Structure 1
Amino acid sequence: MPAPVILIDGRSGAGKTSLTRLLLERWPLDASPQLLALDSTYPGWDGLDAAVEDVTRNVLIPHAAGQQGRWRRWDWGAGEYAESHGVDPGLALVIEGSGILTPETAMLAGVRVWVESPADSRRERALERDGDTYRPHWERWARQEDDHVARDDPAAHATRVFVVP
């Protein structure tokens, strides 16, 4: 039987990373889970779908089959892929990031979380966190999230929904 998989999805600034941090701090099993933050895999500001497809094909599907998966880190400064990282199928896996909860990925994870938060609160948190680096890309990224929500209806595939004011 494959190790547990937890997916944590939500729009930018919703609170995914904070929730993930709390989960990891309170992890109930002896062996710590592997964490894959999609922020490390998005191939640029237009890469939401590409990262999800890559992680599904190269991490989630192999993990479910009990095989080692691999993901590639995106070097934002260089604008290209950098090193790759292995994912041990014998260890629990937590994947956190916008776009990760789709009909396909839902079938590969036992716990599926959607984090919901109002747009103004999300924007304030995201821009406070990432500042001027993110500001010019906010709308561009939000359109990709809108497409994901309309196409994949992640909240409908969640086993848990958290609402963050």
Structure 2
Amino acid sequence: MRSETVTSLAQAARLRPPLAGGVRVVAIEGRSGAGTTVLADALAAETGWPVFHMDEVCSERTGPAASVELLALWVVMPLLNGADPRWRRYDRKLGRPAEWHSIPVVDGLIVEGCGCGAAEIRPYLSTLVWVDTPDGVRHQCPDAQDDAAGHAPHRATRARQEESFYAEHSPWEYADVVVDGAALRRSLRNAGE
């Protein structure tokens, strides 16, 4: 699935300087259900760059603040030292860290999810994208996911954690690109038909 938005973003991202070692990091930030994963997957298909999902290291108890620390430690620092990112997945069912993963990175990496546009991460980002999606659209998305029942009890807590994070970091103010999440979904859906 291709869209003009994704193609333009991929072209622009390739032209930005690498700020995390020799790697161009594109951060796709937005509230839960905004479409950051949809955009990250489409951009990965367009660029061939791997994706790191903030949700993989985030627990419902700790929220975005702890994930930012892990992003810095497990993704940014290795890139700055010429190594590949290596992180430990958080198993939500068991409520504890699980197996280790690594991503081979050549010249670009896409990071998506709440927290990736944090103030302490921004100096290493080649491109910061804010996905702006109306609340009505965002709230429909989690209900459509396969693991909706498992996330339902944590939604209110997650929303409070996000609001606290966004009050402190306001990544949309620093975004290089703002994407309309609802329009992006429509264009990707139309491209897939």
* TM-score range for the pair, normalised by the shorter chain length: 0.7 to 0.9
Structure 1: how far apart are the matches of 2:79 and 2:86? 10
- Measured after TM superposition, the shift of residue 54 of structure 1 is 0.9
- Measured after TM superposition, the shift of residue 114 of structure 1 is 0.8
Q: 1:46·1:140 contact (CA, 8 Å) conserved in 2?
A: no
Instruction: Identify which of 119, 135, 140 aligns with 2:135.
Output: 119
Q: Which moved more, 1:59-68 or 1:76-85?
A: 59-68
Instruction: Identify which of 164, 169, 174 aligns with 1:157.
Output: 174
Structure 2: how far apart are the matches of 1:8 and 1:116? 11
Between Structure 1 and Structure 2, which shows a larger proportion of strand residues?
A: 1
Q: Which moved more, 1:80-89 or 1:119-128?
A: 80-89
Q: Which moved more, 1:60-69 or 1:109-118?
A: 60-69
Residue 133 of structure 1: aligned partner: 150
Root-mean-square deviation (CA), in Å? Answer: 1.7
Q: Spell out structure 1 runs of 4+ moving beyond 4 A.
A: none
Identify unmatched segments of 5+ residues in structure 2.
1-20, 183-193
Q: Percent identity?
A: 30
Identify unmatched segments of 5+ residues in structure 1.
none
Residue 7 of structure 1: aligned partner: 27
TM-score w.r.t. length of structure 2: 0.76
Q: 2:50·2:105 contact (CA, 8 Å) conserved in 1?
A: no
Between Structure 1 and Structure 2, which shows a larger proportion of helix residues?
A: 2
1:144 is aligned to 2:161: yes
1:83 is aligned to 2:99: yes
Instruction: Identify which of 46, 58, 63 aligns with 1:26.
Output: 46
